[in-house]
Amino acid sequence: MNPFEYQRAEDVATAVATVSGNENAAFLGGGTNLVDHLKLGVATPNLLVDVSGLPLDRVESLPDGGLRIGAAVRNSDAAADPRIRRDYPMLAEALLSGASAQVRNLATMGGNLLQRTRCVYFQDVTTPCNKRVPGSGCSALRGYHRYHAILGASEHCVAVHPSDLAVALVALDAVVQVSGPDGDRAVPVTDLYRLPGDAPERDTVLERGELITAIDLPVLPMAARSGYRKVRDRASYAFALVSVAAAVDLFDNGTIRDVRIAFGGVAHKPWRAYRAEDALRGRPTTAEAFDDAANAELRDARPLRDNVFKLRMARGALVAALQHLTGADR
Amino acid sequence: MIGSPLPRLDGTAKVTGTARYAFEHRVADPAYAYPLQATVARGHITAINTSAAQAVDGVLAVITHENAPHLASTEDAELAVLQSTEIAFRGQVIGAVVADTSETARHAAGLVEVSYDPSPHDAVFTPDRDDLYTPDTVNPSFPTDTSQGDVESALKQSPVVVDHVYTTPMTHNNPLEPHTTVACWHDDQLTLYDSTQGVHSTRQSLAKALGLAPERIRVIAPHVGGGFGSKGQAHAHLVLAAMAAQAMPGRAVKLALTRQQMFSLVGYRTPTVQHVRLGAGPDGRLTAISMDVVEQTSRIKEFAEQTAIPARHMYAAPNRRTTHRLAALDVPVPSWMRAPGECPGMFGPEVAMDELANACGMDPVDLRVLNEPDVDPESGKPFSSRNLVACLREGAARFGWADREHAPRTRREHGWWVGTGVAASTYPVHVKPGSSATVRFQPDGRYRIEIGATDIGTGTWTALTQIAADALSVRVDAIDLRIGDTDLPPATVAGGSSGINSWGSAVVDAARAFRDKFGTGPNPGDEAQGTTPGNSAGERFAMRAFGAQFAEVRVHAATGEIRVPRLLGVFAVGRIINPRTARSQFLGGMTMGMSMALHEQSVLDERFGHVVNHDLAEYHIAANADVAGIEAHWVDETDPHVNPLGTKGIGEIGIVGTAAAIANAAHHATGIRVRDLPLTADKFLADARR
């Protein structure tokens, strides 16, 4: 734990200027992850710029009918928003499946997206970890990796991103609004996160000083029939072993017109399952079709020694989620 | 009084936050100590540079092996803190930073530079190691191995044999209140507010290590936020706190272990490998019971969990054998965790009994009833009371066991396999000698009861008050109980479910002595003492508590997720002092048993030598959503032999057998027999058919 200065941000521009000008500065949202890291020595900033009090705490309708969720909206408030619950139930379900009520009351939407992996080695400064100390080695590769990646990992890092929210957002094609030292930009959440490659220290494409100010949800009528299925070791308060965010749109004849699928708990980023989606369009809502879709997506999976089970679990979770959404489990 | 569901007398103080736990005791201008821990698992410290830490504003002292006081006794290697450069396990205490604030101490601790000469370490626990050894005894002093008849021949001749290996993982006590202590040296007197299960036993251990007369140490612990055995013995941080306080005479030093530190420093339950063999006739009658256990201990201090003990007492069979073997590793020191021995030791055998019932085509309740012994199979003595069959019968009736389909994997609801299971529970009756109590009549007309007992969340404040009121034939509000202080008459540790048996008997003895001496019209100041009486009945009887637990389990067919919608326990534990706090004890034990069944597993990374999932986000303990329907009941049981109160102890039996009941129910649900705890989803996917 290092001593640090604390500043309350006055506005977005000043906060961005402060953090972009100081490589040892960090934004502070709800602090539900960063404060742990301060205690553990995982993060050692000398300046915290608290952005949780900025006027980014509203959920607003966009002119095209979509929704804009301010980055400082608390997870619990977003999950309770009637528009989100009605039009994007997978998002509310994903939020409510995360952490505990107490943590959700504190955690911000922007902070949720930028939380770090819960890989035990990343969180333990006495062990090597390429994400924490580039080049030090990956302890999880041949260590405790029950929770780790089966898709898109590298020899340098096999961690998974822990956010449930992010999984729903990539399924919904949500976009984050970002303010940075060089101005504002919009980044689709599907492009926000990186695979580890040889630079696992970078979770996202954001540059130093860039601040997420809002999350935009596009109009997506099919999301009204959507859900989030999280498979975990404990009935609550546990990170996903595997999770699935899914939305389904059916033709009148019952075949699948369109579908959105994303997996959590399987990769360094929330995993949009484009192959599974392609495999399902035009197919009937049968267990066989769901299974084929899972196989298409998991074809390139490379499980580790102790998480081979995630292949069956991901398939099972996808099938269960789709059966639930299409009423086939009744 | 006795038998009435009196609400906890300390309840209001606890829920309003005014009950003081160790760290919360107010002392003037405290300093804060933060431990330094080894980051290698074996070797020596070659250099330790504290200059950067000492330069931090607010740092008062940095204590290492280079400047630590010499201890009078290093006989207990766990307490031989900072006496050499040797590292015996990763996470071992190698120093402390003392500072004006806890934050400063923690920050400065990170600036201490330690160099090591590491040696190859060995933290690999496997049952096929060639260096397993036979301990002299198992905890606390049971024979390591036992043998009656000829197990090998009996197994060869048995028409039905169950022969499997069952495992339980390393698990850690995680009381809500971490291990904390406030230590202050003042005029050669050391005072500690400590989170402990026994103020006198803590004082004794510390007095020995420090070479002080016990009278020079006072330990105070009015409220303790759980212990489960991990606060039953002094651990290294206590010595460290005393050393830190010694470095600043007259100033109190507060030390609180972090959750992560607890995983190295306060004990844990060893992993166990249990080779269980049962031989039986086609009718299910046991001919042979064999249990061979392998477990680990630390290289520097032996703790031999008595895992095969319950197999010696549960069921009748003419041929019997139990053994314990240990691997001594470069790992933290294992110790007591709720129901040591019985808790892990009733997993393998009670799952094996379920497998035997299946093999014989019998109902598992009937199988257990059939094999009920007439006398204790181990000693040949009669039981002072044994009501396992009554618990099984009553539990079966309450649970609706009669409606159970016999075949596994036959009931599926909305994508979930559903099944039910049963297992037995048992725990020995312990009465520990050595407690004293004083009864004194006060000017306000109340009776002051003094005994250095502790309430670790179990309800001691309330139950001892009821016992005193009953023994003196007065109302409970006429009792002024004082516990949790070495200035009070000595009392034994809250462990082995022995508290009420031992302390309560001392209180009863003191109350009787008081009435004998002063009658019912005493004068203020009149006082009498009592002690826990000796009991020769143990020479004539085997004394144990029994129970039966029933579980309903659901396993998701596609994802393997496992949930326990129903858990029901029935116990035969002698006399119940307070049904409200007793139920709480049973429910807590069963919940911890469910947690053991489904979640708990300390993952020791052999390469490093420490537990890597060392926080409550990664080390899963059952949370509210995991506990659905849960019921605890008991049968009436009068046992005049166990002690004057007729109590058997209830703090631990609730955790015994739960995991087996849940594993058996999971098999009934899915047809998949999982013999390795915990019962995580992946274990039901290996064979996932849709």
Q: What confidence tens digit (pLDDT) does each residue in B250-279 have?
A: 999 999 999 999 999 999 999 999 999 999
C-alpha B530/C-alpha B464 separation (Å) is 14
Candidates B78, B342, B552, B652; catalytic one: B652
Say if strands A47-50 and B189-194 run parallel, antiparallel, or are unpaired.
unpaired
pLDDT tens digits for range A141-178: 999 999 999 999 999 999 999 999 999 999 999 999 99
The pLDDT of A98-112, averaged and rounded, is: 97
Size of chain B, expressed as the number of residues it contains: 690
Chain B residue numbers touching A41 (CB-CB < 8 A): 110
pLDDT class of A1 with cuts at 50, 70, 90: confident
The pLDDT of B133-143, averaged and rounded, is: 97
The answer to whether the beta carbons of residues B269 and B339 sit under 8 Å apart is no
Interface touch B598/A233, C-beta < 8 Å = yes
- Report which of B281, B324, B290 is spatially closest to residue B163, judged by C-alpha positions: B290
pLDDT tens digits for range A190-200: 999 999 999 99
pLDDT class of B687 with cuts at 50, 70, 90: low
Quick check: helix, strand or coil at residue B237?
helix
Q: Which of residues 247-286 of B touch A (CB under 8 A)?
A: 258, 260
Say if strands A175-180 and A211-217 run parallel, antiparallel, or are unpaired.
antiparallel
The pLDDT of B102-130, averaged and rounded, is: 97
The answer on pLDDT for B83 being more than 70 is yes
pLDDT class of B626 with cuts at 50, 70, 90: very high
* Nearest Cβ partner for B106 among A1, A120, A234: A1
Alpha helix stretches (DSSP H) within B329-459? 342-345, 347-360, 364-370, 388-399
Interface touch A316/B415, C-beta < 8 Å = no
- pLDDT, residue B590, reads 98
Chain B residue numbers touching A142 (CB-CB < 8 A): 607
Quick check: helix, strand or coil at residue B376?
coil
| Domain B432-534 top-level CATH class | alpha beta
A46 contact B CB<8A: no
A236 contact B CB<8A: yes
Nearest CA distance, A68 vs chain B (angstrom):
31
Q: Tokens representing B592?
A: 């911890």
> What is the biggest distance separating any 2 CA atoms in chain A, rounded to whole angstroms?
64
Main-chain phi, psi angles of B119, to 5 degrees: -110, 155
Interface touch A236/B625, C-beta < 8 Å = yes
B686 contact A CB<8A: yes
Pick left, alpha or beta for residue B519 (phi over 0 → left; psi -120 to 50 → alpha; otherwise beta).
Answer: left
- Report which of B244, B243, B239, B245 is spatially closest to residue B186, judged by C-alpha positions: B245
The answer on pLDDT for A311 being more than 90 is yes
How many CA atoms within 13 Å lie on the side-chain side of A273? 34
Q: Tokens representing A189?
A: 């959440």
B622 contact A CB<8A: yes
Give the rounded percent of residues in chain B with a pLDDT score beyond 90: 99
pLDDT tens digits for range B166-205: 999 999 999 999 999 999 999 889 999 999 999 999 999 9
Chain A residue numbers touching B260 (CB-CB < 8 A): 40
Q: Please name the fold of domain B137-171+269-429+540-684.
A: Aldehyde Oxidoreductase; domain 4 (3.30.365)
A139 contact B CB<8A: yes
The answer to whether the beta carbons of residues B326 and B271 sit under 8 Å apart is no
- Non-local CB neighbours of A293 within 8 Å, separated by 6+ positions: A261, A273, A275, A276, A277, A279, A280, A283, A318, A322
Q: What are the CA-CA distances from residue B64 to residues B49, B74, B112 (Å)?
A: 10, 16, 10
Chain A residue numbers touching B629 (CB-CB < 8 A): none
Chain B residue numbers touching A120 (CB-CB < 8 A): 603, 612-614, 618
pLDDT class of B569 with cuts at 50, 70, 90: very high
The pLDDT of A304-308, averaged and rounded, is: 97
A239 contact B CB<8A: yes
Q: Which residue of A has its CA nearest to B687?
A: A312
C-alpha A129/C-alpha A140 separation (Å) is 8
> What is the biggest distance separating any 2 CA atoms in chain B, rounded to whole angstroms?
78
The pLDDT of B571-579, averaged and rounded, is: 98
The answer to whether the beta carbons of residues B389 and B627 sit under 8 Å apart is no
- pLDDT, residue B688, reads 43
Give the rounded percent of residues in chain B with a pLDDT score beyond 70: 99
Nearest CA distance, B101 vs chain A (angstrom):
12
Interface touch B685/A1, C-beta < 8 Å = no
Indicate if B539 belongs to the active site.
Answer: no
Q: Tokens representing B117?
A: 């000469």
- Non-local CB neighbours of B407 within 8 Å, separated by 6+ positions: none
The answer on pLDDT for A236 being more than 50 is yes
B445 contact A CB<8A: no
Interface touch A2/B110, C-beta < 8 Å = yes
Residue corresponding to tokens 């309708």: A61
Interface touch A319/B612, C-beta < 8 Å = no
Helix-helix angle B347-360:B658-670, to 10 degrees: 40
Main-chain phi, psi angles of B600, to 5 degrees: -70, 130
C-alpha A96/C-alpha A78 separation (Å) is 10
Taking the domains of chain A in order of start, what are their residue ranges? 5-50, 53-330
pLDDT tens digits for range B518-533: 999 999 999 999 999 9
C-alpha B106/C-alpha B266 separation (Å) is 20
Q: Which residue of B has its CA nearest to A323?
A: B415
Answer CATH for A53-330 from 3.40.50.150, 1.10.1200.10, 3.30.465.10, 3.40.50.2300: 3.30.465.10
C-alpha B667/C-alpha B353 separation (Å) is 13
pLDDT tens digits for range A268-277: 999 999 999 9
C-alpha A262/C-alpha A317 separation (Å) is 11
- The enclosing H or E element of B423 equals strand B416-428
- Non-local CB neighbours of B399 within 8 Å, separated by 6+ positions: B420, B550, B566, B568
The answer on pLDDT for A223 being more than 50 is yes
- Report which of B573, B579, B402, B609 is spatially closest to residue B1, judged by C-alpha positions: B579
Nearest CA distance, B58 vs chain A (angstrom):
12
In CATH terms, are B22-120+179-256 and B137-171+269-429+540-684 the same topology?
A: no
* Nearest Cβ partner for A2 among B107, B556, B559: B107
Assess: ipTM above 0.90. Answer: yes
pLDDT class of B406 with cuts at 50, 70, 90: confident
pLDDT tens digits for range B339-387: 999 999 999 999 999 999 999 999 999 999 999 999 999 999 999 999 9
Residues linked to residue B552 through DSSP beta bridges, in sequence order: B420, B566
- The enclosing H or E element of B147 equals strand B146-148
The pLDDT of B302-310, averaged and rounded, is: 98
- Non-local CB neighbours of B678 within 8 Å, separated by 6+ positions: B169, B596, B597, B598, B599, B600, B601
Q: What are the CA-CA distances from residue A234 to residues B173, B589, B616 (Å)?
A: 18, 18, 12
Interface touch A1/B686, C-beta < 8 Å = no
Residues linked to residue A68 through DSSP beta bridges, in sequence order: A60, A216
Q: Which residue of A has its CA nearest to B606?
A: A143
A226 contact B CB<8A: no
The pLDDT of B471-494, averaged and rounded, is: 98
Distance of CA B142 to the CA centre of its chain: 18
- pLDDT, residue B1, reads 85
Q: Tokens representing A136?
A: 């030090």
Q: Which amino acid is at B94?
A: I
- Non-local CB neighbours of B492 within 8 Å, separated by 6+ positions: B198, B200, B201, B432, B433, B434, B435, B498, B499, B502, B503, B532
Q: Which residue of A has its CA nearest to B612?
A: A120
- Non-local CB neighbours of B689 within 8 Å, separated by 6+ positions: none
Q: What angle do CA B256, B587, B21 make, to 5 degrees?
A: 25
The answer on pLDDT for A80 being more than 50 is yes
Nearest CA distance, A155 vs chain B (angstrom):
18
Quick check: helix, strand or coil at residue B632?
strand
- pLDDT, residue A106, reads 98
Report cis status (omega within 30 of 0) of the bond before B678: yes
B107 contact A CB<8A: yes
Q: What value does the mean pLDDT of chain A take?
A: 97
C-alpha A73/C-alpha A52 separation (Å) is 8
State whether the Cα torsion A64-A66-A70-A73 is positive or negative.
positive
Q: Please name the fold of domain B22-120+179-256.
A: Aldehyde Oxidoreductase; domain 3 (3.90.1170)
Chain A residue numbers touching B600 (CB-CB < 8 A): none
* Chain A contact probe: residue of B40, B87, B104, B559 with most A CBs at under 10 A: B559
The answer to whether the beta carbons of residues B185 and B52 sit under 8 Å apart is no
C-alpha B333/C-alpha A8 separation (Å) is 46
B412 contact A CB<8A: no
pLDDT class of A330 with cuts at 50, 70, 90: low
Q: Please name the fold of domain A5-50.
A: 3.30.43
| Burial call B452-473: b when 16+ CB within 10 Å, e when fewer | bbbbbbbbbbbbbbbbbbbbbe
Residue corresponding to tokens 């209140």: B177
Interface touch A231/B39, C-beta < 8 Å = no
SS (H, E, C) chain A: CCCCEEEECCCHHHHHHHHHCCCCEEEECCCCCHHHHHHHCCCCCCEEEECCCCCCCCEEECCCCCEEEECCCEHHHHHHCHHHHHHCHHHHHHHHCCCCHHHHHHCEHHHHHCCCCCCCCCCCCCCCECCCCCCCCECCCCCCCCCCCCCCCECCECCCCCCCHHHHHHHHCCEEEEEECCEEEEEEHHHHECCCCCCCCCCECCCCCCEEEEEEECCCHHHHCEEEEEECCCCCCCCCCEEEEEEEEECCCCCEEEEEEEEECCCCCCEECHHHHHHHCCCCCCHHHHHHHHHHHHCCCCCCCCCCHHHHHHHHHHHHHHHHHCCCCC
B617 contact A CB<8A: yes
- pLDDT, residue B690, reads 37
Taking the domains of chain B in order of start, what are their residue ranges? 22-120+179-256, 137-171+269-429+540-684, 432-534
DSSP B539-606: HH-B-EEEEEEEEEEEEETTT--EEEEEEEEEEE-B--S-HHHHHHHHHHHHHHHHHHHHT----EET
Q: What are the CA-CA distances from residue A278 to residues A150, A296, B492, B581 (Å)?
A: 21, 9, 69, 59
Size of chain A, expressed as the number of residues it contains: 330
pLDDT class of B686 with cuts at 50, 70, 90: confident
* Nearest Cβ partner for B608 among A127, A233, A316: A127
Q: Tokens representing A330?
A: 């009744």
Residue corresponding to tokens 């030090």: A136
- Report which of A330, A329, A318 is spatially closest to residue A280, judged by C-alpha positions: A318
C-alpha B373/C-alpha B377 separation (Å) is 7
